[in-house]
Amino acid sequence: MSATLILIIIALYFGVLLLISHFVSRNSSDESYYTGDRKSPWQIVAFGMIGAVLSGVTFVSIPGMVGNNYFYYLQFVFGNVVGYIFITYVLVPIYYDLKLVSIYTYLETRFGIKTYKTGSLFFLISQSLGAALRLMLAAKILQYAVFDAFQIPFFVTVIIILALIWLYTHKSGIKTIVWTDSLQTFFLLLAVFVSIYVVKTSLNLSISETVTAVTDHQYFKIFDWDSHSGNNFFKQFISGMLIAVAMVGLDQNMMQKTLTCKNKKEAQKNILTFSIFLAVAQFLFLGLGVMLYLYAEQLGVPLEVEDGKFINTDNLFPMLSLTHFGMIAGISFILGITAASFSSADSAITALTTSFTHDFLNIQTKPIKKRLQLKNRTLFGFSVLIFIIIMLFSESKGDVISTIFKVAGYTYGPLLGLYMLGIFTKVQVHDNAVPYICIAMPLVTYFLNYAFIEWYNFDFGFMNIFVNALLTVICLLLVKKKRHVPL
């Protein structure tokens, strides 16, 4: 495929996004950017959230990671489903009953102003890092497929992507994103089905033979019962459940979409429907991964190996799609990765803007003209921050998805601890102590995991979020307020 053709496809795709933005943003109110006027159809929200959660990282990382981690990621997905059930029946009712715009306002009503600011700050850190890493991966692929041919530097590619996102989201924010995410989910899933079909055809397999080829392959190992392994079933399942609660239920990005639904009942339908389809989609990505390695194995495509393990596994899907699968598969891949990059970044930047303006700038108390000014400045500021993070991590290698979940374990752990204590107990804590505890516990978790690996050859893996949250709860209980018993 020529770089010029790919550039034309991306331009046409972006034109469609602008067209959707134009129609959706008509008759928008001042609150449309943050709440979508609470009129979004739950079916559209659910479908669009699939693309937002999958992102470009899932799009290329999950198929690639199969070579070293088999189907073990599916254990994590099983835990996700349980986490989404908790979000549906515990967190969504709380958010709707309190009529929240920023979900971290809950922490103020439960514990106090400093806890509220701390919770929001941890989200801002987590989401900035996660969004930047996701966008970085997509930008690298677009750089390889398009911009290198025009001798455009990588940093310019990132700036172009961020500028395009600003163009179609700056006016109506989440109201536009609910609809554009649905289009982007469609193209992302289309790329998977096309790729599966291409590999199946190339290897002369029927549908039943394709299923057998995947399930009989050496990589089709779902459960790992080794207690010392980071892929151990219980570690993966529990961490999958907790990370789903943290990265969706306690994440302004994901919940902001859910809170655009008309009422609590429709929001709950959204989460349940989304969780089922997401699990199916992730299974397809894993199956595609086996097929990609099978294709490379049978056609003699050389892959990078170091110390007996595949390296740069995130390059597998892009490389095969753009150089081996033909034009139709190449076009579908470009549309898929473009959709994934926009889908994950646009909602993340909107959520960051919403959280900062409501939690730190108190934008809801400002005059309308001042609100618009503050919103635009914050939107620009987070775009710059994400650009800086991308450039700092631009030389990193390996599968990005593992990095994202490891980082999430440290940054979302204190948030998870705060919400669990707030929801399941009536304990009151000293508000002033909360920021210190939430900063200290991720550091303690990191060194504790390092010590366990060195002393016992025991890796917490993704379970670091559980350890982090547990330590946070224990320390919060140590600074709880004593009840005064009347004489």
Tokens coding 244: 């789903």
Q: Is the pLDDT of residue 364 over 60?
A: yes
Mean pLDDT confidence for 1-17: 81
pLDDT for 209 equals 92
Better-predicted residue by pLDDT, 94 or 393 = 94
Q: Is the pLDDT of residue 441 over 90?
A: yes
- Give the angle 308-309-311 at the CA atoms, nearest 5°: 135
- The 10s digit of each residue's pLDDT in 168-219 is 777 666 777 778 778 878 888 888 899 899 889 988 989 899 999 999 999 9
Give the type of residue at 58: T
Q: Residue 1, SS3?
A: coil
Packing angle, helices 400-411 and 464-478, rounded to 10 = 10
pTM here is 0.81
Count CB neighbours of 447 within 10 A: 9
Better-predicted residue by pLDDT, 175 or 313 = 313
Q: State the chain's mean pLDDT as an integer.
A: 85
Count CB neighbours of 249 within 10 A: 25
Percent of the chain past pLDDT 70, that is, above it, reads 92
Gyration radius (Cα) of the chain, Å: 22
CA distance 123 to 12: 34
Helices (H) and strands (E) in the chain, counts: 20, 2
Q: Return the half-sphere exposure (C-beta side, CA atoms, 13 A cut-off) of residue 405.
A: 28
Q: Residue 480, SS3?
A: strand
Mean pLDDT confidence for 364-386: 87
Per-position DSSP letters for 409-447, written without gaps between them = HHHSHHHHHHHHHHHH----B-GGGHHHHHHHHHHHHHH
Q: How confident is the model at residue 150 (pLDDT cuts 50, 70, 90)?
A: confident
Q: Is the pLDDT of residue 30 over 70?
A: no
The answer to whether the Cα torsion of 445, 451, 455, 457 is positive or negative is positive
> 279 with 81: CB under 8 angstroms?
yes
Q: Is the pLDDT of residue 52 over 80?
A: no
CA distance 61 to 73: 11
> What residue has token string 């982090």?
468
Better-predicted residue by pLDDT, 72 or 136 = 72
- The 10s digit of each residue's pLDDT in 386-434 is 999 989 888 766 556 667 777 777 888 899 999 999 999 999 999 999 9
CA distance 157 to 243: 31
Residue 443 CB partners (closer than 8 Å, separation 6+)? none
CA distance 386 to 165: 13
pLDDT for 31 equals 62
pLDDT for 182 equals 83
Q: Return the half-sphere exposure (C-beta side, CA atoms, 13 A cut-off) of residue 422.
A: 24
Give the type of residue at 365: T
Output DSSP code: residue 247: I
pLDDT for 187 equals 84
